[in-house]
Homo-oligomer: A and B are copies of this chain.
Amino acid sequence: MPTTSLEGLVAVGGRPLTPKGRATRQRIVETASRLMLEVGVERATIDDIQRVAGVNTSQLYHYFADKNALILAVIDHQTQTVIDLHRVSLERVEGFDGLVAWRDMIVDVLRAQQCIGGCPIGSLASDLVETNLDARRALQASFSSWEGLLRDGLSTMQDRGILPSDLDIGRAALALLAAVQGGLLLSQTRRDTVALEAVLDNAIDYLRSLSPSR
């Protein structure tokens, strides 16, 4: 189930939002998320976001004090989307079949979007970490949550004796997440899924090479 961010429930000044207010806020965040992914954070202007979301300036500033607040809401939104997607897949991981199903899910999603757009979190990271400290901290937390899901999946495999008991699960999860990020960026640039498939297949086969039960 999607986690609801507390931040989404109040306007600037701390007033609680009505259901209609929440829907408007959500529409602004979803529009900003899409535009920032499509053209980049800097090129997605407040004017464009207002126009596409169909809200006026005072409405937008009712929910977000400035563009930075909107950027943080976008990071929150994209993190929830990615985490919800990967949680469904990673919660089912009990062995290599589950890990391969997770890999297939990522490749299928990329193929469905014709390799356009890359990773919503990775794109924001590349765009923001050098210029926006709040964003960097938020994106560090996003990657940590994602890595946590991977760690849980690998932990289950370790508990079942499918991965060696002395494997550093945290490091293995971080390496898998890096493989996802690099595969998505190369595949986005090349406009084919081969790079993503190659790096994920090798990362999973590496874990398979460690398996005591193979």
Contacts and interface: CB of A to CB of B under 8 A. Distances in A.
B186 A185 contact: no
Given A139-B189, A172-B198, 5 more contacts: A38-B130, A118-B129, A122-B185, A175-B202, A181-B182
A186 B209 contact: no
Given A179-B178, A182-B179, A198-B172, A189 B40 contact: no
Interface of A: 38-40, 42-43, 116-118, 122-123, 125-127, 129-131, 136, 139-140, 143, 171-172, 174-175, 177-183, 185-186, 188-190, 194-196, 198-199, 201-203, 205-206, 209
A185 B125 CA distance: 8
B209 A196 contact: no
B190 A140 contact: yes
Contact of A131 (B39, B122, B178, B198): B39
A195 B186 CA distance: 18
Contacts of A203: 199, 202-203, 206
